[in-house]
Structure 1
Amino acid sequence: MSGQKRRAFRSVQEAREKLSYKSAGKPEFDYELLMMFVRNELSAAITTPLLAVVVAVGAMFWSSPRQLLLWLCCIFVTKGILVGICRQFSKEPREGVNVASWRAKITAAEFLYGVTWASVVFVNPLTEDVAGYTFIFAAVLVVISMRMLFASTVMPIVYAGTLPMTAAIVIRFALLNDPFYWAMAMMAVAVHLYFIWLMNGFNATVVSMLEFRAEKDALIGELEQSKSISDEARLRAEEANLAKSRFLATMSHELRTPLNAILGFSEIMRDEAFGPHTNPTYKEYANDIHESGQHLLTLIDEILDISRIEAGRYELHEAPISLTDIAEECHRLMRVRADNKGLTIKQTFEEDLPNVWADERAMRQICLNLLSNAIKFTPSKGAVTLKVARTSAGGVALTVKDTGPGIPDDEIPRVLRSFGQGSLAHQTAEGGTGLGLPITKGLIELHGGTFEIKSKLRYGTEVTVSLPPSRVMEALPRLAEPGEEEPEQTSKTQALWEKRAS
């Protein structure tokens, strides 16, 4: 298993483990929630101490400066302890972290920090002025709201840091024995409860966000894992297919040699080269053997051709050829077969077509395959049209059209695959290997051409193979005659033809 697949599997496993927990406290997200608090605390390490300085300076108008200075020093010390613990936690590798232990340490440090803030309420005032108590009340509520916001991802830290401050306000104002301060104490409790309610909702939102992120990570991991498995399976299938094609391509001699012997001996026996048979049935058997051998040789040739094409081992022997002459030759070869079925083959050849640079055997095989398919699938009294003409792009195209049953649109990809046949072909025509169209498509693509098939049910099929303009002979400059000065670009043309011929 590759490193990428192992990482994908590990991420999927971790995400599934997180999502498998169903406890109310969501322990699977404890580390993330605690890390959020730590990051908040470290990013605002100076903000709260600066607020403490502001409170101390403001409270000097009503309280003892010496006590406030002592209180301020305690704030700095406890804040330093909290920040130090948070910094240590952020440096720990996640794999070895004991979340419960670190949460207890941070909660204790936060409690100490909250108690220190709560002590400002008990600083002895120089006067019993209402403004002083109101100032302290407002300052402590601001700190409570800030600490709740910072610690909202871990509710135990919220309680540890803010309950001492609210309790200090309630106790201090209750001791003043004044209904006004009692009302302020009740207001502090109500505000604290409201903040707790808000923070619980915020905490639930954060946990839901982490759940969605875990689900997303699990989905991405599964997609990566599935893609990796799919890629590996595809590579194996391609390697197996290539191995099969290479094997068949190298079996040409081993398959043809015994079959040629069978064909030769059966032909001698059929023609009675060494004298007549005493029993006429032997001659019939010899003829059946020869015909079956010819059919088998055709099948072997088709299988070997498609195997060479798929393995990339089909070699083109290119030369200037006339596509019209090849079409006429194929027409003559297939005419008897068409006449036996009562079919008409119509020829439409454009005049003065230039030669093309192609493999003569391959182009003949393309034309024969298309004509053979058209005759095979066209019912009696039907028509087959054979056309050779220029294309709009400047190339040359060969088109074969029939009036057969046609091919459904959803079956066209199937008939273009090796050994693929349409459903209507099984019902209305002779059997076959299903290699004619794949071989035709492969051969024309080796020439850099295009293959196009159009079909309509009950109206017939039209197949067009086109050679690109670069293979049309007249598209290149004329070579210089002996004694003539070479026209422009002649040397480049010769080099191009030499490259193609090699």
Structure 2
Amino acid sequence: MSAIPEDVARRKSRHDARARAYRDLSERRARLAAGTSIKPEFEYELLTMFARNELGAAVTMPVLYSLFALACMFWAPTVDAIVWLVTVIVAKVLLLDQARRFLHQPQAQLNIRMWRRRFVLLELFNGLALAGFALVGVRETLGAPTDMVFSSHVFIFATLIVVLAIRTMFAATLPAIFYAGTVPMTLAVVGRLLMLDNSFYLALATMAVGIHLYFTFLARGLRSTVLSMLEYRAEKDALIAELEEQKSVSDEARRRAEAANSAKSRFLATMSHELRTPLNAILGFSEVMKEEMFGPLNNPKYREYTENILESGKHLLHLINEILDLTRIESGRYELHEEPLRLADVIDECHRLLKLRAEGKGIEVVEETESDLPIVWADQRAMRQICLNLMSNALKFTPKGGRITLSVGKMPDGGQYLAVRDNGPGIPEDEIPKVLQAFGQGTLAQQTAEGGAGLGLAIVQNLIELHGGNLDLKSELRKGTEAKVVLPAYRVLQSMGPLQPLGRETHRIKGMAPRPPRPARVRARAEGGDTAAFG
């Protein structure tokens, strides 16, 4: 039996390994086709982030470029500044136009490799246009005063830092685009500073290179962070998709199970009703033959067979009734007809019904009932069936000369219990969940002729759950079994005390105020005393 699950697990492991290998091969093929080391869907996400960043700054970047152009007019000719501003805005407009087209196209129709190359070229053009800012007014500053030369080159150095920060924020996740947009500007600024042949400007040029390297490492860190985020999101989406798939499979399996259960219930109900009609005839005719109403049966064997037919028919009818009860309970068509009753009366009635059977096996049945127990609100037929099923089980497995105890009492929370305890062979602890299931039988029941169909405890559990209670089954080998059904506290009816102390009732007309106590003089007059006080 254990080889089957191991074989299934082995086949499932091989299937998962093949699926992983196929998935890895597909990813590598897609990466080779896209010309990148990352997944194509991640490449699309990175390009989308870049395009959205550019479109988000479609207004602010031209404004910033205009401020740069105004500032450089203090040391450079106005024409040079305007030419640079027009060039950089044209480059920006071309980049924004392509970014908008990229976002408007469906992902399935995009060639990621082509668009990445296009964005790199456009960014290179934009970087060269920005690098032109470092060349604006070169000739004019060479012969200018020292303070103007100092201020202009310091401003150019600050402009480089601003451009590096902006391009790092926009294109850090795409190294080729980042380098295309920043390297030309850095080279132009370093070249201009080195032209001045001064130690101070040499230091600024060195700082410019160092700052560019710093932003490069910063861009790599941002790229790694973004890729990790995309990886986690892809895993989350895959997990959600897998959960959705498993949920749909589970829903389909549940729907099929419910349909099968409903079909089973309908089949059992139909077949049970169909079986009862001929079974009643068998019981009736066999009872007539047993009683020899139309004449004696000369052969004793015929009489014995007739008794066997009658007993077998009764057993089959009992089994059909149990199946019908369980089917009605499982299908939700079992209706409780609740009324006030006493559990002590229920066990007393069941004791009388099964007394002859207990005496026939030599089993002593004892009732233990706590005094002054209040009545409960429950279905009398269901509670009687619960007690009969538990007592029948005890009678089946209790040996001759044994003892069965029927008890009723209070629970600590205010509820009441009905328990059947025997000193039979008991049930192994690992078999208790099995015997509580429908058609579940323990090893002892399978070894005895009185095993039954295994529906008694299942019916008991379902009936007590309809009342809001529960079944507690405890057993110990060679010591006996105790089955206890517990009704909740809200089903116990508490008696109400009188509204007034007895003997002190008052008779009032509805709506009238209570009569005030009479003064002592009035009481004396009413009792025939002196009336002079009222003169």
**TM-score bin (small chain):** 0.7 to 0.9
Indicate conservation of the 8 Å contact 1:18/1:28, yes or no. Answer: no
Q: Among 283, 287, 312, which residue is 1:263 paired with?
A: 283
Q: Among 137, 141, 147, which residue is 1:127 paired with?
A: 141
C-alpha deviation, 1:308, in angstroms? 1.5
Distance 1:180 1:353 in 2: 104
2:528 aligned residue: none
Q: Does 1:228 align with 2:248?
A: yes
Q: Does 1:314 align with 2:334?
A: yes
Judged with a 3 Å threshold, the aligned counterparts in structure 2 of structure 1 residues 41 and 209 are, in CA distance, closer, same or farther, namely same
Indicate conservation of the 8 Å contact 1:451/1:463, yes or no. Answer: no
1:77 aligned residue: 90
1:103 aligned residue: 116
Judged with a 3 Å threshold, the aligned counterparts in structure 2 of structure 1 residues 201 and 335 are, in CA distance, closer, same or farther, namely same
C-alpha deviation, 1:437, in angstroms? 1.3
Q: Among 139, 157, 167, which residue is 1:137 paired with?
A: 157
Residue identity in the other structure for 1:305: D
Give the 3-state SS of the residue equivalent to 2:212 in structure 1: helix
Distance 2:161 2:416 in 1: 88
Count matched residues. 465
C-alpha deviation, 1:317, in angstroms? 4.8
Indicate conservation of the 8 Å contact 2:341/2:377, yes or no. Answer: yes
- Structure 1 stretches of 5 or more lacking a match? 1-12, 479-484, 489-502
Percent identity, please: 54
Distance 2:224 2:58 in 1: 26
1:457 aligned residue: 476
Judged with a 3 Å threshold, the aligned counterparts in structure 2 of structure 1 residues 72 and 319 are, in CA distance, closer, same or farther, namely closer
Distance 1:371 1:441 in 2: 14
Q: Which moved further from structure 2: 93-102 or 196-205?
A: 93-102
Distance 1:376 1:27 in 2: 72
Q: Give CA-to-partner distance per residue, 1:270-305, whole Å, 9 cap, x none.
A: 444444444433322222222222221211111111
Distance 1:203 1:79 in 2: 23
Judged with a 3 Å threshold, the aligned counterparts in structure 2 of structure 1 residues 374 and 188 are, in CA distance, closer, same or farther, namely same
C-alpha deviation, 1:231, in angstroms? 1.9
Q: Give CA-to-partner distance per residue, 1:461-480, whole Å, 9 cap, x none.
A: 333334456666775899xx
Q: Among 403, 416, 420, which residue is 2:436 paired with?
A: 416
Q: Does 1:157 align with 2:170?
A: no
Q: Which moved further from structure 2: 283-292 or 316-325?
A: 316-325
Give the 3-state SS of the residue equivalent to 1:244 in structure 2: helix
Q: Which moved further from structure 2: 419-428 or 112-121?
A: 419-428
Judged with a 3 Å threshold, the aligned counterparts in structure 2 of structure 1 residues 180 and 468 are, in CA distance, closer, same or farther, namely closer
Q: Over aligned residue pairs, what C-alpha RMSD do you find? A: 3.5
Q: Give CA-to-partner distance per residue, 1:90-122, whole Å, 9 cap, x none.
A: 344444444334434433332222111101122
Distance 1:187 1:473 in 2: 91
Residue identity in the other structure for 2:474: S
C-alpha deviation, 1:218, in angstroms? 0.3
Give the 3-state SS of the residue equivalent to 2:354 in structure 1: helix
Q: Among 365, 371, 375, which residue is 2:395 paired with?
A: 375
Indicate conservation of the 8 Å contact 2:416/2:487, yes or no. Answer: yes
Residue identity in the other structure for 2:381: R
Q: Give CA-to-partner distance per residue, 1:216-256, whole Å, 9 cap, x none.
A: 11011101211121122112212221232233224443111
Give the 3-state SS of the residue equivalent to 1:312 in structure 2: coil
Q: Give CA-to-partner distance per residue, 1:16-75, whole Å, 9 cap, x none.
A: 979952441332211110111122223333444444344334433433233123222333
Indicate conservation of the 8 Å contact 2:475/2:482, yes or no. Answer: no
Give the 3-state SS of the residue equivalent to 2:451 in structure 1: coil
Residue identity in the other structure for 1:308: R
Distance 1:276 1:428 in 2: 35
Indicate conservation of the 8 Å contact 1:396/1:468, yes or no. Answer: yes
Indicate conservation of the 8 Å contact 1:41/1:150, yes or no. Answer: yes
Matched ranges for 1:200-219 at <5 A: 200-219=220-239
Distance 1:177 1:470 in 2: 99
2:16 aligned residue: none
Distance 1:323 1:177 in 2: 111
Q: Give CA-to-partner distance per residue, 1:423-456, whole Å, 9 cap, x none.
A: 455468841211111212223344x241231414
Give the 3-state SS of the residue equivalent to 1:434 in structure 2: coil
1:329 aligned residue: 349
C-alpha deviation, 1:415, in angstroms? 2.6
Residue identity in the other structure for 1:67: D
Q: Among 345, 348, 353, which residue is 2:368 paired with?
A: 348
Indicate conservation of the 8 Å contact 2:445/2:452, yes or no. Answer: no
Indicate conservation of the 8 Å contact 1:378/1:405, yes or no. Answer: yes
1:63 aligned residue: 76
Indicate conservation of the 8 Å contact 2:340/2:378, yes or no. Answer: yes
Judged with a 3 Å threshold, the aligned counterparts in structure 2 of structure 1 residues 378 and 280 are, in CA distance, closer, same or farther, namely closer
C-alpha deviation, 1:151, in angstroms? 0.3
Distance 1:398 1:54 in 2: 92
TM-score (norm 1): 0.80
Give the 3-state SS of the residue equivalent to 2:471 in structure 1: strand
Give the 3-state SS of the residue equivalent to 1:21 in structure 2: helix
Q: Does 1:282 align with 2:302?
A: yes
Give the number of the structure with larger relative contact order, counting CA–CA contacts within 8 Å between residues 6 or more apart.
1
Residue identity in the other structure for 2:275: L
Give the 3-state SS of the residue equivalent to 2:55 in structure 1: helix
C-alpha deviation, 1:210, in angstroms? 0.7
Q: Give CA-to-partner distance per residue, 1:111-147, whole Å, 9 cap, x none.
A: 2221111011222332334513343234224312321
Judged with a 3 Å threshold, the aligned counterparts in structure 2 of structure 1 residues 38 and 284 are, in CA distance, closer, same or farther, namely same
Judged with a 3 Å threshold, the aligned counterparts in structure 2 of structure 1 residues 180 and 445 are, in CA distance, closer, same or farther, namely closer
- Structure 2 stretches of 5 or more lacking a match? 1-18, 32-36, 499-506, 511-535
Distance 1:329 1:404 in 2: 23
Give the 3-state SS of the residue equivalent to 2:463 in structure 1: helix
C-alpha deviation, 1:163, in angstroms? 2.2
Distance 1:199 1:471 in 2: 72
Indicate conservation of the 8 Å contact 1:321/1:358, yes or no. Answer: yes
Q: Which moved further from structure 2: 336-345 or 448-457?
A: 336-345
Distance 1:192 1:176 in 2: 21
Distance 2:273 2:137 in 1: 111
Judged with a 3 Å threshold, the aligned counterparts in structure 2 of structure 1 residues 83 and 449 are, in CA distance, closer, same or farther, namely closer
Residue identity in the other structure for 1:344: E
Judged with a 3 Å threshold, the aligned counterparts in structure 2 of structure 1 residues 63 and 352 are, in CA distance, closer, same or farther, namely closer
Q: Give CA-to-partner distance per residue, 1:324-361, whole Å, 9 cap, x none.
A: 33322321332343344443221013445565555443
Distance 1:208 1:472 in 2: 62
C-alpha deviation, 1:372, in angstroms? 1.0
Give the 3-state SS of the residue equivalent to 1:127 in structure 2: helix
Give the 3-state SS of the residue equivalent to 1:399 in structure 2: strand
Give the 3-state SS of the residue equivalent to 2:419 in structure 1: strand
